[in-house]
Amino acid sequence: MSCDYGEDCAGDVQDLEPKAIIGFDGSTINGLVVHPNGLHVLYPMGNKISIQEWDTKKQTFLVGHTNNISAVCISPSGKFVASGQINHIGFRARVIIWDFEKQVMLNQHEHHKVRVETVVFSKDERYLISLGGRDCGSLVIWDMTVGHVVCGTHASRGSQGEALALLPMVRRGQCFISAGDCHLSIWTIDFNMRSLRSIDVAMSKLKRKVMCMDGNERDEVLYCGTSTGDVLKIKLNFHHDLDIVEPVKTPCVVGCFARISKKKLRRGSVDLYQQGVRSLKRLFGGELIIGAGDGTLEMVVEDKPVLPKDCVDVKLPSIPVLKVLKSTYVNTAITSLQLTKDYILAGTMANEIYQINMNNFNAALIVSCHTSTIYDIAFPTNFSEVFATASHNNVRVWSMTTMQELLRICVRNFTCSSVVFAHDGRSILTAWNDGVIRSFTPLTGRLMYAILNAHNKGVSALTTTSHGRMLVSGGCEGQVRLWQVSPYRQQLICTLKEHKGPISALHINKFDTEAASASTDGTCIIWDLERQCRRQILFAKTLFLCVKYFPSGVQLLTGGSDRKIAYWEVLDGCLVRELEGSPTGTINTLDISPSGEYFITGGNDQIIKLWRYQEGMTTHIGMGHSAAVTSVRFSADGKHVISGSAAGTIFVWKVPNTEGEAVPEKTPDIDNVKQAATTEHISDLPTARSHVSVEVSQKSQQELPQQHESEEWCKCPSISSKSSRSSCCSMKADSISKSLVPKVGSGSASSSKKGSGISSPKKIGSGCSIPNKTGSKIGSGGSTPNKTGSNIK
């Protein structure tokens, strides 16, 4: 594949292979569709249609829409798929016809304005009927045989409200029904006259908003679910002769049915479905499957009406007729119902798919995902079997093996901006826009502690040290705060006030000595966690949105609104390299693999890019997200990449040539040794400042005595103070100073840099000062007196 996604690409950019996709758009009415072959399930995901093999969970996509898909349907034979989309005000919305087997676009038209409300195929698959939304309100008939629009008209007339639903007739391919707010009409397509004729259903004084409908197989009766919570039964009055396509009499309402209540109701009231009847399906035996707005799913059948004793006091025209046979509950409004042989699939407004057994009506949650933007993704330390995602209202923990939700932590009406696992795995740390840092248990989701008023404008970023005793948080007011935490006490250490804008990202190096904060004020600051002050500041003409330390801690990687990926030197804050991350969109997120060989980026262009860190070349791209990519993360073993988007979908990508795989040991040959000697690594690359330091350190290492292999550098966590210095540090420091002090007195030009350029003894402690015989400190940045008494800076 040739590279069309930026300048810094390798010769052949390959595709990232998605292992799994966790996502479903439940807001689309009747968006969940089962293919007639019973093997595939179709549903929209943003501006793409996902075709999933139900058993293997393998997915493919139909790509062609430019905005979110609002309607989808499949032909009775399963050969064709049709979909409609939403567009901006003043622009036309597209309707696309697809070939299911080849998964290619066959035809399209743009005869609707702003939104396509619904699309249906006629039963003979000759016509595709599409209905426009509130700004359009027109019916468009597409002839599949000739491949163009044959006719169209406005769906509503006179005092009728907007149309919301369409239903094709079973035995008459040229007839269909439209329903909506005070609207119920039967339409006939006249191909010869290129026109549409309609007959309104006689509803007398009954006023209802029809949300869904279904009829029997002989086109005799129609059932309509309403927003009031009852079901209308309509007699269609078609002739038994199929050649007569129009009703011989005006269709009329037979009854308005409610449930037969099992509890005693107030006089004059009936039992209605709460929040209306959203989905309705009729079984072959005459039973109705009803999905309500409150999550109730029931199987009902018509029974003898149970009238109150005094019919005069009945306030509603609904009559208790529907007897409940089976019932279950699925938490939120049901937007889609699909029937199979053994079970029912129900799609909900909460982006969940339930599988209901037809025998016992037990509901099992089989697909769940976030309903809004995913702001952060986190893996536990050195564990790749689970990961956590942060979004609005909740934090969820997922399994990498089953791709199912394991835990849901809910905080209603608030948004989690950042999530991180404690290094010991005993807690999940979260940052929320109400200014509270909350810690939860990873198994039960129970609240362990909460830091109230951590930031007065909301916590925007959060990270923790490896020992787990310190938290670093960033807020929307621009402050970085350090916290000392324990299960029973959380205390503020200090507040670092340098940024002028919200903190967008935080990251701590592996030594727990530095933290980098990225802000939208155009600066990225490296903080010294030991001295609690600023060490370096990076400036750029961009809004910094992400920052990561290289695993060795020597460089920083940043991304932002200028679409650039920047390499920075941690030592002096200089810019090492700059890459074009995207030709069109902002770089919202990035992450570096555990080995440092690769890094991954995502942004507003909806594309995941895998880069080689050293070469700065794109090797693989992942396309599939329907909205801006907001978070990416490498798994702890480096074998997978998790990405989340503004649409709430989660993609799990396989990393090619995974560095985490075990490589069989081989005896080194001469060719491999030569190749290894000439191979250049990122740690060997010279920079503007490190090139000088390398020359000085090489000279100083030649002057230093050789250390025995059995000796180890001191790993005590002592800080540069005389009182806390350990005895082992002092003994080793004295032995080094005996050989070091005579060498310093040469007074050469290169020796002036030895006070801060000695690289190898830097392993002694984390900032340990090395006293010489005169009591001064070498390596602490001060002056070093030699035997003659002169000071060397």
Q: Report, as ranges of residue numbers, the positions in the chain whose pLDDT lies below 50.
A: 1-2, 4-7, 10, 658-793
In a domain, 291, yes or no: no
Biggest CA pair distance of the chain: 120
Question: What one-character DSSP code corresponds to residue 742?
Answer: H
For residue 400, what pLDDT is reported? 93
Adjacency order of strands within the sheet including 40-45: 33-34, 40-45, 48-53, 59-63
556-579 pLDDT, tens digit per residue, is 999 999 999 999 999 999 999 999
Beta strand pairing status for 514-519 and 523-528?
A: antiparallel
pLDDT at 308: 58
Residue 491 lies in a domain: yes
Q: Do 447 and 406 contact (CB within 8 A), yes or no?
A: no
The owner of tokens 């925007």 is 460
For residue 676, the surrounding DSSP H or E stretch is helix 670-678
Q: What's the number of CA atoms in the CB half-sphere (13 Å) around residue 248?
A: 10
Phi-psi region of 39 (alpha: psi -120 to 50; beta: other; left: phi over 0): alpha
Tell whether 599 is covered by a domain: yes
d(CA 200, CA 237): 12
Look up the pTM and report it: 0.74
Q: Rounded distance, CA 714 to CA 756, Å? A: 19
Domain assignment present for 793: no
CATH number, position 620: 2.130.10.10
pLDDT tens per residue, range 94-147: 999 999 999 999 999 999 999 999 999 999 999 999 999 999 999 999 999 999
Residue 410 placed within a domain: yes
CB atoms within 10 A of CB 190: 13
Domain count, the chain: 1
Asked whether residue 422 is domain-assigned, the answer is yes
Closest CA to 627 of 48, 116, 61, 41: 48
In a domain, 573, yes or no: yes
Does residue 705 fall inside a structural domain? no
How does DSSP assign 157-198, residue by residue?
-TT---EEEEEE-SS-TTEEEEEEBTEEEEEEEETTTTEEEE
Domain that holds residue 480: 376-654
